[in-house]
Amino acid sequence: MSPVLCKAWADACGSAEPSTILIPAGKFLCGKTDLKGPCKSPQIQIQVLGTVTAPNDVAGESWFLFDNVNNLNINGNGVFDGQGPAIWKTVKSVAVDAMHACMQTLRFNYVTNALIEGITSKDSKNFHFIVIGGKNLTFSHITITAAGDSPNTDGIHMGRAAQISILDSNIGTGDDCISVGDGISDLTVTNVTCGPGHGIAIGSLGMYPNESPVKGIHVKNCTLTNTLNGLRIKSWPDREVCDASDIHFDDIIMNNVSFPIIVDQDYCPWNTCKNTGPSKVSLSDISFTNIVGTSGTPEIVHLNCSSLHPCQNVQLSNIDVKSTSGPATSVCCNVKPTISGSIPPGC
């Protein structure tokens, strides 16, 4: 299908009129597909009604790449099936670099003014959706599904982009439901369900030189069920400088979330940290408000901030998450949060 789709894209992109590409009902095998601009057409719509199935190839950054496109609309009730189970067991047994080399399902590079609506991403080999360097993208009524133990299958990952909205969507996968990299500003996440997965995460930050700030993150009216983590901000110890601010989590329901609220500035997966100095990432103007539900562990709030840059202006308000395994507690290190309403004792 890939050559046919690329030909249709070339025709649509070169048209002076708004254009529509239809993927009809049915099942179609499609190889790696790069759909690039800039385009002459003032708007391109891709209507997905069928199931598009990925090859079993492991290598390659992305399965579908949209690059340098303005005014893009992808909609329909169709499915992108990444065929992840064919390689997940292999990926779990190889090096971390090989894990990240697997194909992401849909990648948006420098895409502006886009609406992605109604479609499903199933069993991605790697990230389901990734946004890099774009502006004004909306994901609405999206379904993302993969096994809870599928490796590195983040639902929607983004970096160095602005004005991103994720609305009214259902995400269940093996890694972060939503992950926010450096350089993200003005992100709105509303009415999203997450689970299984690793929750909603900002970071990890401070791993690479010249990271851009994160600011203006608003997560509201979301429900997390049977996830490892709930709401998490993470940065690497003793690496690079970055800052994140104006981050707000409001009206969140948690059902059996293992670690509901986390700030971890000693984040170090895969035993890769050689240095033990504090994180150089600055965190400020952060709030957790009206967080309710249940957790399978006692530690409901875990704020482990950097000793070099203690967290500033952190607010905890009405944190009512019950532990099913003992009295609920909170832990705060290198931070003096402002507390209102009830929260578990310890901070």
What CA–CA distance (Å, rounded) separates 140 from 118?
7
User: Do you know the residue count of the chain?
Assistant: 347
Tokens standing for 174? Answer: 């093996």
- Return the SS3 of 51: strand
Catalytic residue among 157, 198, 302, 309: 198
Strand partners, 338: 315
Answer for the pair 305, 263: CB distance below 8 angstroms, yes or no.
Answer: yes
Query: Catalytic residue at 157?
Result: no
The answer to whether 69 touches 27, Cβ cutoff 8 Å, is no
Q: Determine phi and psi for 112, rounding to 5 degrees.
A: -125, 150
SS (H, E, C) 109-166: ECCEEEEEECCEEECCCCCCEEEECCEEEEEECCEEECCCCCCCCCCEEEECCEEEEE
Active centre residues (catalytic): 198
